[in-house]
Amino acid sequence: NAGVTQTPKFQVLKTGQSMTLQCAQDMNHNSMYWYRQDPGMGLRLIYYSASEGTTDKGEVPNGYNVSRLNKREFSLRLESAAPSQTSVYFCASSEDFRNEKLFFGSGTQLSVL
């Protein structure tokens, strides 16, 4: 069972470069989420998509954009990367927005130099 798949696993960017983090789930879940985790800290919600066709800001949305491409895929874009965006990024999904179980991917380690 693949579950939630994130690509790439590692990425190094220079300040000002752009990139898109990809996330796909194969559990037919309606809701998907992007979190970031800085060293020694808990996860913070960046954006979420409660259902296909909708996206909403989370706790720390500045500097990011998202696209819910279809029910399976939810991408996170950094238009102009900054060193403050160096972090581990986790994608997650749940059956629906009120469901208690989040399923997480294994993360993308992003370094912005």
Partner 1 sequence: DAKTTQPNSMESNEEEPVHLPCNHSTISGTDYIHWYRQLPSQGPEYVIHGLTSNVNNRMASLAIAEDRKSSTLILHRATLRDAAVYYCILRDRVYAGNQFYFGTGTSLTVIP
CB 102 within 8 A of CB 92: yes
Q: Strand pairing of 108-112 and 10-13?
A: parallel
Q: Is 45 in the site for partner 1 (CB under 8 A)?
A: yes
Integer Cα distance of 79 and 65 in angstroms: 8
Phi, psi values for residue 53, rounded to 5°: 95, -5
**Which position among 48, 68, 87, 112 is part of the footprint of partner 1 (CB under 8 A)?**
48
Q: Is 102 in the site for partner 1 (CB under 8 A)?
A: yes
Q: Is 60 in the site for partner 1 (CB under 8 A)?
A: no
Choice between 44 and 72, CB closer to partner 1? 44
**Which position among 16, 20, 59, 111 is part of the footprint of partner 1 (CB under 8 A)?**
59
**Which position among 34, 35, 64, 74 is part of the footprint of partner 1 (CB under 8 A)?**
35
Instruction: Determine the size of the site formed for partner 1 (CB under 8 A).
Output: 26
Phi-psi region of 66 (alpha: psi -120 to 50; beta: other; left: phi over 0): beta
